[in-house]
A and B are shown apart, each in its own frame.
Chain A
Amino acid sequence: GQQVMQIPQYQHVQEGEDFTTYCNSSTTLSNIQWYKQRPGGHPVFLIQLVKSGEVKKQKRLTFQFGEAKKNSSLHITATQTTDVGTYFCAASKRRTYKYIFGTGTRLKVLA
């Protein structure tokens, strides 16, 4: 079945350093969503990417969808302690309703 892998699994950074998480699928995707889940909380929607090669920015966050629509990345510039949490990608294939969540990247930011 469809699998969505995320790397790295964990990342510890000093406050102010940059952070990137990557999401990879073995099959072509229809769209991809990114979520953030704080410890003890529920996933909160960040962005959706639909077009091949699409790049979207939200303040310090940059999201990218690969040209082949099989991979995506989330980059955070100058991390802050408020960025702590687990970042998940959620991928959907065409003509299906289900979203497959990636394994997640747990980010810790050291002050």
Chain B
Amino acid sequence: GAGVSQSPRYKVAKRGQDVALRCDPISGHVSLFWYQQALGQGPEFLTYFQNEAQLDKSGLPSDRFFAERPEGSVSTLKIQRTQQEDSAVYLCASILDRAGYEQYFGPGTRLTVT
């Protein structure tokens, strides 16, 4: 079956632009994470959804970052007024049930802010 998909795979944004990154989890997966991975580092937690409820957003770096999952499936991570320090790979992971189980990662979106 299809895995987790993310789009776009690559995004170049000028500083100050808004961007929207999409995650399509595996069908039927209840939980969804967003992570930010800088070059040479491990993924850093951004936010967690269980169905449509955002249960933890403590990892979002600033109020310029916003995530939603309105129908409990597709999720969008939006970054407003992008800054150079936002350049990273943004990974989405879905889980069949609640947190505490195997995370299936998507290929990521590489965001470059110029």
Chain A interface extent, by class:
20 to 34
- A104 vs B40: C-alpha distance when bound (angstroms): 9
B106 at the interface (CB under 8 A from A): yes
The answer to whether the Cβ of B66 comes within 8 Å of any Cβ in the partner chain is no
Report the nearest B residue to A6, measured CB to CB: B42
Please state if A43 and B105 are interface contacts (CB–CB under 8 Å).
yes
Of B42, B48, B58, which is within 8 A of A101 by CB?
B42
| A31 adjacent to chain B (CB < 8 Å) | yes
Q: How far is the CB of A68 from chain B (nearest CB, A)?
A: 20
Q: Is the CB of B105 within 8 A of A42?
A: yes
User: By CB atoms of chain B within 10 A, which of A30, A44, A92, A97 has the most?
Assistant: A97
User: Could you say which residues of chain B place their CB within 8 Å of the CB of A104?
Assistant: 41-42
Given A98-B45, A102-B42; A45-B104 close (CB under 8 Å): yes
Interface residues of B in 45-60 (CB under 8 A from A): 45, 48, 50, 55-56, 58-59
Instruction: Verify B108–A42 contact, CB threshold 8 A.
Output: yes
B107 to chain A, nearest CB (A): 5
How many B residues have CB within 8 A of the partner chain?
Answer: 25
Q: 24 A-B Cβ contacts within 8 A?
A: A30-B100, A31-B100, A33-B103, A35-B103, A42-B91, A42-B107, A43-B43, A43-B103, A45-B102, A88-B43, A90-B103, A92-B99, A96-B56, A97-B48, A97-B50, A97-B55, A98-B58, A99-B45, A99-B99, A100-B45, A102-B42, A103-B41, A104-B41, A104-B42
A86 to chain B, nearest CB (A): 8
Interface centre among B42, B99, B108 (most CB of A within 10 A): B42
